[in-house]
Structure 1
Amino acid sequence: MKHWLPLLLTLPLSHTQAAGPAFNCTQVEAGSIEQQICQSEPLSALDRKMAEVYTAAQQKAGNEHPPVLKTEQRGWIKGRNDCWKSADQPACIAELQARYRLVEATGPVFYQCDGNPAKEVVARFFRTEPPTAIVEFGDRSSLMYLEQTASGARYQGQNESLWEHHGEAIVVWGYQEPEMHCTAR
């Protein structure tokens, strides 16, 4: 499978297509993630934006030792390619968009829990499809997906959840952990 991000390094920004991604769609393999990007204007727009950001980051990280930017790029490509194999591609794409901050976020929103200033939960909400949030508590973070509710907004992670309604939130952080009652500051 061809990796499109390394191609970005050789493309001047002035040659990116206005309606397509920053790479040539005539050279992509059928059934690849690159083909999906070529067929989607929102993904093509994100690809163009990523090309701009990556080029700017590469210029700033030119003499970086060890080469962290290139290592992160390879990790992102692996994640993107694994996403293509996922049974739930929209959720996987939403995860990449949120984790790498490729879409606009609302927040951070700071919540104080159980009346204790030391129990602070920080949430950033991303306009992905499906909607996501990255929620931090202590030294851990959790990617959460919006679930349908009768009222408020409930985000569910692997073992964590945040249910927000009018500035109040109930947060569960860990399997069978007690609820924390939180207020937005």
Structure 2
Amino acid sequence: MPGSAHRLVGLIILCPALALAAGKGGSEGGHGRAAESGRIAEDTAEANPPAATDFNCEKPGNPVEAMVCQDDSLTRQDNRLEKVYALALEQAQQGRPGAEAKLIAEQRRWVKSLKDCVKTEDMHMCLGDVYIMRITQLQAAWGLAPSLTPLRYVCKGNATRTVLATFYRTHPPTVKLEYNGSTAILHQGLSGSGARYAAPGLELWIKGREASITWRGEPLDCSSQPSP
């Protein structure tokens, strides 16, 4: 019996240690699996970047999805947008921290804005226009189209007030303006004379070397100078 008592005491002493070791082993295994699952999820996310629109054409969820899925011309525009957006995402992933997340959020806002076309007289024309505008905006913003040599506009009143303009051969033509630490994309529109580019709150009107610029309410009279 003394031997049995000694074995019992030994088990009582050893069991907590074994339980603790088992707990550590199980915990490490769980964390290992969680970490591995996390890596797999990250790899999957990288391999499958978010789609530009992600419409379900088998079960359209709203009139916009139905029209884009059923109309050949809009379907082609949607496919083209997917390709351009994928290229923009690649550029964003290689850019500054947060650029990719910002682009994804921007694209989601754009998709939500498509519902505004339902309220227009011609939803088909509206959707076609906004698709073209978005495609060319992405091309200009991420340098995905051929561009001309940038022009530097020096504005009157202060030589440090300069606007850098990069013109892109998109359809329709676009220009990327950089001013005071901000960037904006404008599309070419109709004008009686000269070349006019516009976006909400922004305008660039070029006549020869002179340019009249409106930057979010701030009027600027500028002249083009050779880029540094």
Q: TM-score, normalised by structure 2?
A: 0.51
TM-aligned CA deviation for residue 134 of structure 1: 2.7
The answer to whether 1:170 aligns with 2:212 is: yes
CA RMSD of aligned residues (A): 4.3
Match of 1:47 in 2: 82
Match of 1:183 in 2: 224
Match of 1:85 in 2: 115
TM-aligned CA deviation for residue 49 of structure 1: 4.9
2:104 alignment partner, one of 71, 74, 83: 74
Q: Which amino acid aligns with 1:152?
A: G
Q: TM-score, normalised by structure 1?
A: 0.60
Answer yes or no: is the 8 Å Cα contact 1:46–1:102 preserved in 2: no
The Cα offsets for residues 5-60 of structure 1, whole Å up to 9 and x where unpaired, read as x998349xxxxxxxxx99999955444287378721x55244235446646876x6
More helix by share: 2
Match of 1:159 in 2: 201
Answer yes or no: is the 8 Å Cα contact 2:206–2:212 preserved in 1: yes
Q: Which amino acid aligns with 1:161?
A: E
**Aligned CA distance change for structure 1 residues 25 and 96 (closer, same or farther; 3 Å):** closer
Answer yes or no: is the 8 Å Cα contact 2:151–2:224 preserved in 1: no
Secondary structure, counterpart of 1:145 in structure 2: strand
Supply the distance in 2 between the matched residues of 1:76 and 1:114 (Cα, whole angstroms): 34
Match of 1:140 in 2: 182
Answer yes or no: is the 8 Å Cα contact 1:161–1:172 preserved in 2: yes
Aligned pairs, number:
164
* Percent identical residues: 21
Answer yes or no: is the 8 Å Cα contact 1:132–1:144 preserved in 2: yes
The Cα offsets for residues 143-184 of structure 1, whole Å up to 9 and x where unpaired, read as 333221122111123333211133332223343x44413224
Match of 1:109 in 2: 151
Question: What 5-or-longer segments of structure 1 have no aligned partner?
Answer: 1-5, 12-20
Supply the distance in 2 between the matched residues of 1:52 and 1:143 (Cα, whole angstroms): 18
Match of 1:3 in 2: none
Supply the distance in 2 between the matched residues of 1:133 and 1:152 (Cα, whole angstroms): 15
The Cα offsets for residues 108-136 of structure 1, whole Å up to 9 and x where unpaired, read as 32212228531211123344454433322
Supply the distance in 2 between the matched residues of 1:57 and 1:143 (Cα, whole angstroms): 17
Supply the distance in 1 between the matched residues of 2:53 and 2:216 (Cα, whole angstroms): 42
Supply the distance in 2 between the matched residues of 1:22 and 1:174 (Cα, whole angstroms): 28
Match of 2:36 in 1: none
Match of 2:162 in 1: 120
Supply the distance in 2 between the matched residues of 1:56 and 1:164 (Cα, whole angstroms): 30
Q: Which amino acid aligns with 1:86?
A: D
Supply the distance in 1 between the matched residues of 2:166 and 2:78 (Cα, whole angstroms): 21
**Aligned CA distance change for structure 1 residues 22 and 91 (closer, same or farther; 3 Å):** closer
Secondary structure, counterpart of 1:74 in structure 2: helix
Supply the distance in 1 between the matched residues of 2:216 and 2:103 (Cα, whole angstroms): 31
Answer yes or no: is the 8 Å Cα contact 2:165–2:175 preserved in 1: yes
Larger Rg: 2
More strand by share: 1
